[in-house]
Amino acid sequence: MDVAKTIADIRKCVATARAAGKTVGLVPTMGALHVGHVSLIEAARSRCDYVVVSIFVNPTQFGPGEDFEKYPRPEEEDFATCARHGVDAVFAPGASEMYPRENLSWVSVEKLTAPLCGRSRPGHFRGVTTVCTKLFNIVGCDVAFFGQKDAQQAVVIQRMVADLKVPLEIVVCPTVREPDGLAVSSRNKYLSPQQRKDAVQVYRSLVRCRELIAAGNVDASDIRTQMCEILRQVPGIEIEYVSIVDAETLDEVDQVQGRILAAVAVRLGSARLIDNILVDTSGQ
């Protein structure tokens, strides 16, 4: 496995793979790799001949007071995880490689970035779309793999790729969950043992949502209320949002119909947890 720290080096790796006629997949990550990332790597290996994992804790997607400084960076472990899972090249640039001087150029997506996490994290998605554009331009991949866990991010990136005619395909892979249902996340590390137990209520609220819809409840307001009740069983939880939105436009819905996204964000101790499910009622 190659480990490239510079843009020139990863481009050389990819050029060699290209010259051998290989297709190239990219799994963009902030490191602290877990089984969720591994599922993306496996999806990439099944689709592409040559798999690149980028590891970069991108400063421009963190707001003031967020966890940029304390975000875990277990570099050697991450490299070992990549090697173990058959990754061909890791691209692990430093901040000065990705942002060598004041960054004046930004890629932004309107409307889709306003609701949900956009409300509490202004500038977050602009940081994500900008760094993904850089990564796509640097690696020149055919396919890039993202997790459904970050549902809004996936919708935003897909729209960016479509609008700007970025010559690659986006694959969104299912959320990977712990045995009790909690979505796997690098930020679960911030939870105390008790908070970790309580955190399952986030998933349970989504399961309840799915059950209510399956039982024919189409009243989004009622569903949200019942989801909030489940979340409020956790002492000290702060609910940031409980939303039922159109899965493509991310507009809040009154009536559940078509493809909808139920999405939750809470704060529990020092952790901010997000989770979601897609429900497609159009076939029902």
| Catalytic residue set | 37
Min dist CB 17 to its own copies, Å, is 15
User: At 136, is the secondary structure helix, strand, or coil?
Assistant: helix
Cα–Cα distance, 252 to 237 (Å, whole number):
23
Min dist CB 100 to its own copies, Å, is 8
* 7 or 200: CB nearest its own copies: 7
* 14 or 48: CB nearest its own copies: 14
**Binding interface with its own copies (CB under 8 A):** 7, 11, 103-112, 129-130, 133-134, 137-138, 140, 159-160, 163-167
Backbone angles phi, psi at 203, to 5 degrees: -65, -40
CA distances from 217 to 68, 222, 257 (A): 40, 8, 10
* 112 or 234: CB nearest its own copies: 112
Query: Residue with structure tokens 């029902």?
Result: 284
Alpha helix locations (H) across 146-277? 151-163, 193-198, 200-214, 220-231
User: At 190, is the secondary structure helix, strand, or coil?
Assistant: helix
**Ramachandran class of 259: left when φ > 0, alpha when ψ lies in -120 to 50, beta otherwise:** beta
Min dist CB 18 to its own copies, Å, is 11
Distance of CA 37 to the CA centre of its chain: 10
Backbone angles phi, psi at 238, to 5 degrees: -115, 120
* 58 or 205: CB nearest its own copies: 58
Min dist CB 29 to its own copies, Å, is 18
Q: How many residues does the chain have?
A: 284
